[in-house]
Structures are given as C-alpha cells and as structure tokens.
C-alpha cells in the first residue's frame, strides 16, 4: 500500500509575491504531491504551505522549494511577528494512511539528513522525531530565534541534530519532525455564561486532567450570545470527535445548557469523521477500504502508466 | 473541477479466467481510472467490474474492454443463470463528485452513440438515461433475454435507442444508463421476532409509503437470534443514513427492541457517511472541501505533468 502523508512546511517569506510563487511552484507540478493550500501573512512575514500525497514526491518537491527559499531569503534581513530560526523554518510530516508514526519519524530523520546534505543547512528534530526529549517542544528549539541562535548554537545543548554547530550564513537552521494530524474543533453552547464554557474546557482538556489528547479553552461569542469550548484534538484516533462532543454535551447538562452546534475548522482527514459516523450509526465491522474515495486514492496512486 | 464517476460494467463472461483478465486489463492501466473491484461468477457466467475515476479515461477503458469482450464472447454459445442480452450487458454511470445527474445522463447518451459507432452494437438507454419511460426499468429492456430479443428487436417498441433494429451477430445488444449510487445498509435488531423486522421494513420503505428512496425487507438472522431490516438506500442524499437509522430506532421502541448494530455492505461514498457524522456531531457549515482526501483526489486528478 502506498503511504499517504500530510506535510505543512513553513517558510520565512510572507511579503514578496514573486518569491512566494517561486517557492510554491515545485509543489504544483509534482505528480503524487497535492498542494492543498498556501497562505502568506505579511505581518508574520511567513508562508504556510499544506501538502498531501505520497512521501517520495513530497520530499522531492520540498528539496526544490527549499533551494528556492535559500536563494531568495536572507535571514539577516528578515523581520516578522512570528518566531523563526530559518528561511525554511519548520517541516512537519504527518501520517495520513498506511503509515505508522514510527515510519513517519524514520521518514523525518532520513529526510533531515538528505536535506542537510543538499542544502548545507543544520537540522533540528522536533515533536515525535525529537532525539533529545526537550526538543519535542518547538519553542525550546526556536528559543532566541535566528538572531539568538547564531551565537547559542555553539553551546552543546543547542547543537543541531544534523550538521555542524553553526547556522547557514543566510538560511539559518530548519526544524524537521513528525506529529499527528491536529483537528481544530469548536463546540458552541446555548448560554451567554462564559464560566460554563471555561468549566467544561477544564473538564475535557488534558492540562486539567481530562482527555489526554485534547487542548481547550472556554470563550464568549459575544455577538451571538453564545459561548464556545474551543478545542484542538491532537490525536483524533485516541480521542474521537464523538467522544469529545458527547462528553461536552454530558457536562453541559449540569447547567441545562444545550450544544447548539459544532465547527470543524480547516482541513480534516475523512477518518476523523468516519469514526464518528460509525459510532452513531452503530456500524459493525466497518473498514476504510469500503470508502470509494480511499480506494480511488490508492488505485490512482499506484496506477503509474 | 474534474468530475468523478463510478461505473459498474457487466460482461457476459464468468468462466474463462484468461478472457476475464483480458477484459479487465484496460481498466488497470488507464490513468484516472481506478479498478475498485471485479467479480466473476461461474454460475451466472458473468463478470461485474467496479470502476471509479474521471469520465474520459473510464470511457476510453470501457471501449477497449468492450472490444476484447466482443472478440471473445459469442452470445449464441453463452449460458448462465443471470438475465442478459449482450456480451457487454449493462454499463451504468454513477455520479460521485462535481457532476449532476443531468450531466451523467448526457455522458451516458454521448458514450452510447460513440460505443455504437466503434463496436456496431445496438444500444438501449435505461434508468435516468431512458429515452422511453418504460425503459427506465432494466427488466423491460432485457425481457426475453438475448435469445428472445433476436426476433423481438424488429418490433418497433423493442427497437434500440441507438443503431439499426438488429442484434450484433455475436455480441447482442448493450444497455447503457445513469443512476444514483446504491448503498446496501442493514439494521440488526435485538429480538428473534421476525415480524418486528417486517413491520419496521414496511414503515420505512417506499413501496409501503415510507421514505421515497429506500427499499427494504425484514428477515431473521437465525444463527444469531437477531432479526434484520435489510435495506437498499437508492438515494443517500435524499434519504440520509442517519435518518433511516433513527427512524428504525424510533419504530423499534414500540416493541422495546434495541438497534444492536448496523452494516454497510460493499463500497460506500464517503459523503454518505460524512453527512451522518455532520448530523450527529452537529457540525455547522461543514463543506466536503475540508476533507483532505477529497482535496487530494482533485489535486491528483488535475496534476497531470
């Protein structure tokens, strides 16, 4: 089975349209690499690209795009509101189908080595691909940003995971890693009492003892007279959306408050929703192989003439 | 947007493995045409192929496969349990994405004309593509089968929709049409009283006044001590699976009988399940464009290098 991954590379360029288009171009033309979306933010001076497809073409396109970024971006001139340490700042690989997290970590490590060989840029590994425990957190690696890391990189505890302990002269360093797909999910409640949303957020999120792979806060939607439990589900396989939703519904009953609606923000893997359909419809023995679109993706992926 | 269709051509060959493989071969090698499944039944002496993909490559592959079937199948020698009038017996086109039923009907008509030009086989149009109302029903067109149609075709009310009123000497005639995707869906109930399943089937199916696009019967699953409402949902957009399920659950309450489980049999379009996930999770403003796999399919379909 051909594996499918998502990849969300972040580049430190959000202002020059010609450079942005030149960086994105390799992602458009590569068979087996689908450019889902790209967004440049001038204030952040940053470009976020969303890709999905097979690991090989995605890696090829990443190397081409990185070389364009290195040719056009000088971190010594770069300014922007978003923390960054390099022209190619972060490259997370996300397993979608027919790939385990261990395989995705191996992919990140192999790509990081090749990336360094071809660009000369030092590499740090983060999240699931971290080789030092503290580096699982991106903010630890990016501490002090490009300007601070220039000197700090010679400190052994800031040495890169691949490459010599010095930044690339113009492109800085790159953080490469593997992580799960993150689903942004909001639950809107029929009350204007924000304390209820905050209490429920506390009940369901990991940081206060709730579900291990859920982050969340309670906030008011003042113009609508509602409140929202705003969530990131960082592992939708372990904390399914139906479980999160029904847990919130159950907690809200304490105050006689209904779930008015939910929102899925941005992209979502079909599996995250199919699992909930299978739960509520009580489908027994359901297999993703029964889903036409999954089968089409596999067949089209393999059908190289 | 590139349209996506399903297509389920039926060929009158279920016994000779070499012929079966030769018919299927064009569906394997065509870019944009995914061979989902194929099943040959020796008793029926019939081959059922499931395809999904873009209309152009599917039509090209169909013409190639039809020519193989015509070269190897002589309907004068053909015997089998399943009704049939031709070597290429039936070709239904099913809209999946970015295609209306009207467009799918136009596709069936255009393909039927081209198919006749290239093979010399007379064509009947059925289901949504029928040009005469009675021909929406396949059994009307196939009445008398190949042997009976040989003479009957000269009768004006049996004239083909494309071609002269005589069968192809060895390949007979072909029925081409457009229809909705059919979801086979079973609901198993926690009772051994089959009358309850029969009563509920009556309540939900079109033929006895229930939902307009649902067919169903009640039957006993004797080895499991359960009963089953066995359904075909012939338009899952108009009669969503959650509505069918909850209607059955509600009816079953009359007898204090629980829904034990449901079964989706065979392939299903993701949309049929996503709609139910969106209902139960109360997702507001959900768009299929948010589903990564849909976006990947579109991008890969368009990404011709």
Q: How far is CA A116 from CA A71, A248, A302, in A?
A: 15, 46, 30
Residue A302: band (very low, low, confident or very high) from pLDDT cuts 50, 70, 90 = low
Q: Cβ–Cβ of B296/A297 closer than 8 Å?
A: yes
Question: Dihedral sign, CA of B293, B298, B300, B303?
Answer: negative
Q: How far is CA B112 from CA B56, B100, B125, B174, B293, in A?
A: 14, 18, 8, 9, 32
Query: Distance between CA A118 and CA A166 in Å, rounded?
Result: 16
- Whole-number pLDDT of residue B304: 41
Tell me the average pLDDT of chain A: 95
Q: Indicate the helix (H) or strand (E) that contains B247.
A: helix B241-253
A214 φ/ψ sector (left φ>0, alpha ψ -120 to 50, else beta): beta
Q: How far away is chain B from the Cα of A274, in angstroms, using its nearest Cα? A: 6
Query: Distance between CA B89 and CA A173 in Å, rounded?
Result: 63
A152, two tokens:
């700090």
Instruction: Render A49-101 in DSSP notation, one character per residue.
Output: EEEEE-HHHHHHHHHHHHHHHHHH--TTT---SS--SBSEEEEEEEEEES--H
- Whole-number pLDDT of residue B303: 45
Q: What is the dihedral of CA A87, A88, A90, A93, to 10 degrees?
A: 170
Q: Where in chain B is the domain with CATH 3.30.990.10?
A: 4-178
Q: How far away is chain B from the Cα of A35, in angstroms, using its nearest Cα? A: 7
Query: Distance between CA B166 and CA B261 in Å, rounded?
Result: 51
Residue A305: band (very low, low, confident or very high) from pLDDT cuts 50, 70, 90 = very low
Strands (E), chain B: 4-7, 10-11, 33-41, 46-53, 88-97, 123-127, 174-178, 183-189, 214-221, 226-233, 259-265
By C-alpha distance, the chain A residue nearest B299 is A34
Q: Cβ–Cβ of B245/A282 closer than 8 Å?
A: yes
Window 53-82 of B: residues touching A by CB (8 A cutoff) are 53
In CATH terms, the fold of domain A4-178 is: Formiminotransferase-cyclodeaminase; Chain B, domain 1 (3.30.990)
Interchain CB contact of B90 with A (< 8 Å): no
Q: Cβ–Cβ of A305/B31 closer than 8 Å?
A: yes
Q: How far away is chain A from the Cα of B262, in angstroms, using its nearest Cα? A: 5
Residue A144 DSSP SS3: coil
Of residues B4, B36, B262, nearest to A299 (C-beta): B36
Interchain CB contact of B282 with A (< 8 Å): yes
- Whole-number pLDDT of residue B305: 34
Q: What would the pLDDT profile of B41-62 be if each residue is shown by its tens digit?
A: 999 999 999 999 999 999 999 9
A55, two tokens:
């690991």
Window 235-264 of B: residues touching A by CB (8 A cutoff) are 241-242, 245, 259-264
Q: Where in chain A is the domain with CATH 3.30.70.670?
A: 183-295
Of residues B31, B286, B293, nearest to A297 (C-beta): B293
Which of B25, B269, B283, B298 would you mutate first to test chain A, the one with the most A CBs within 10 A?
A: B283
Residues 6+ apart with CB under 8 A from B268: A290, A291, A292, B183
Query: Distance between CA B301 and CA A295 in Å, rounded?
Result: 14
Question: Dihedral sign, CA of A71, A76, A78, A82?
Answer: positive
A34, two tokens:
């689908």
Mean pLDDT split into 10-residue runs, chain B, 305 residues: 90 98 94 90 95 95 98 97 96 94 98 98 98 96 97 97 98 98 96 98 97 96 95 95 98 98 93 96 92 82 47
* Range B183-295 has CATH code 3.30.70.670: yes
């Amino acid at each position: 089975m051909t594996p499918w991954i998502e990849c969300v590379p972040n580049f430190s360029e959000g202002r020059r349209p010609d450079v942005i288009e030149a960086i994105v171009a390799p992602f458009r033309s590569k068979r087996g690499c689908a450019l889902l979306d790209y967004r440049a933010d001038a204030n952040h001076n940053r470009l976020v690209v969303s890709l999905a497809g097979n690991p090989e073409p995605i890696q090829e396109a990443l190397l081409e795009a990185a070389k364009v970024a290195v040719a056009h971006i000088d971190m010594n001139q770069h300014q922007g509101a978003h923390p960054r340490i390099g022209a190619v700042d972060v490259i997370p690989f996300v397993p979608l189908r027919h790939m385990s997290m261990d395989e995705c970590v191996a992919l990140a490590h192999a790509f990081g080595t090749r990336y360094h060989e071809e660009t000369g840029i030092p590499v740090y590994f983060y999240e699931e691909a971290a080789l030092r425990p503290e580096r699982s957190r991106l903010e630890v690696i990016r501490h002090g940003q490009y300007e601070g890391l220039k000197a700090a990189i010679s400190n052994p505890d800031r040495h890169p995971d691949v490459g010599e302990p010095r930044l690339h002269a113009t492109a800085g360093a790159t953080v490469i890693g593997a992580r799960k797909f993150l689903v942004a999910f909001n639950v809107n409640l029929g009350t204007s009492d924000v304390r209820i949303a905050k209490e429920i957020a506390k009940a369901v999120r990991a940081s206060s003892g709730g579900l291990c792979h859920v982050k969340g806060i309670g906030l008011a939607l003042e113009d609508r007279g509602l409140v929202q439990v705003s969530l990131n589900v960082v592992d939708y396989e372990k904390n399914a959306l139906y479980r999160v939703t029904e847990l919130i519904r159950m907690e809200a009953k304490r105050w006689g408050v209904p779930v008015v609606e939910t929102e899925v923000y941005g992209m979502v893997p079909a599996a995250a929703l199919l699992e909930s359909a299978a739960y509520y419809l009580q489908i027994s023995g359901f297999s993703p192989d029964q889903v036409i679109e999954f089968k089409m993706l596999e067949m089209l992926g393999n059908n190289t003439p």
